[in-house]
A and B are shown apart, each in its own frame.
Chain A
Amino acid sequence: MKRADKIENKRIFKSTTTALSEVRQFVEDNALSFGFGEKEVSEITLAVDEACTNVIKHAYQSDPNFEFEVRITAGGIEFQVVVRDWGAGFKPEEVPVPNIKGKIGRHKAGGLGIFLMRKLMDSVEFQGRETMNEVRLIRYLKNEPKP
């Protein structure tokens, strides 16, 4: 398969957890065509799943009447995914780094998703505007892809 040098793709998804598998497929297809290996593709896909899960559960409280957008732009060595919603904003700086031991026994795993996103991607930025929230996830191609 010929590698895509430049990618600009956008899709809108319903705010329901059933959309997560479609999101993963969308991200996987694009990351593969940009030249990432299997391990990197699964890491990028997981990070985006976590971002979208946060949108569905927290920004929209799992109300399927809302929608969110996943936009992928890639060029050079940079693969960027922006997840955008128009729901309730949140302050990522107020989400503590999870202490797994401290969380055990509680029926909430809050904070794990953000922690994973930061571990898996080269850059994760949250931006809250007046009516819109964005998470920008970036991963760089470390090795030259095979021709």
Chain B
Amino acid sequence: MNEFKVLTRDSGNAVVMDLHGFLDAHTAPDLEKTFAELIGKGKFNIVVNFDALNYISSAGLGVFMAYIDEVRGNHGDIKLANMQQKVFNVFDLLGFPFLYEIYKDQDEALKKFNSQ
């Protein structure tokens, strides 16, 4: 079975979410749980590091859509970084680059938060 793992770490005034493995309808609930926990703790500045994410389907994309409104409503954001090309292509097909900030490097995304 394709594994999925999500780890979180604090960085300045933001939290980095490191995604590993395969994000599909089976594993999306794990990501949903992590978002819910962060938001429950009042953490709204979130950088998602896709560096080690090998696969995403619409079930995974749906999780980012589900939480962005609440996060932005609390003056935060979900910024996406370090995507492999094949993962970026899926986001791109659905028009995410118009609605989310997507960075080549997670440090760029963190700088945006830390300069606020």
Residue ranges of A at the interface with B (Cβ–Cβ < 8 Å) = 17-18, 20-22, 24, 39, 42, 46, 49-50, 53, 56-57, 98, 100-101, 103-109, 112-113, 115-116, 119-120
Contacts and interface: CB of A to CB of B under 8 A. Distances in A.
Interface string B7-34: 0000000000000001011100000000
B62 A49 contact: no
Contact of A50 (B1, B2, B57, B68): B57
Contacts of B94: 98, 100, 112, 115-116
Contacts of A50: 57-58
A116 B58 contact: yes
A45 to B, nearest CB: 8
Interface of B: 1-2, 22, 24-26, 55, 57-59, 61-62, 65-66, 68-70, 86, 90, 93-96, 99
11 contacts: A17-B25, A17-B26, A20-B24, A20-B25, A21-B2, A42-B55, A104-B68, A104-B69, A106-B65, A109-B58, A112-B58
B1 A113 contact: no
Given A101-B99, A104-B68, A21 B22 contact: yes
- For the complex, would chain A's binding face be called helix, strand, loop or mixed by DSSP majority? helix
Given A104-B68, A109-B62, A109-B65, A18 B93 contact: no
A39 B90 CA distance: 12
A34 B103 CA distance: 35
Contacts of B86: 39, 42
Given A20-B26, A100-B94, A105 B68 contact: yes
A22 B26 CA distance: 12
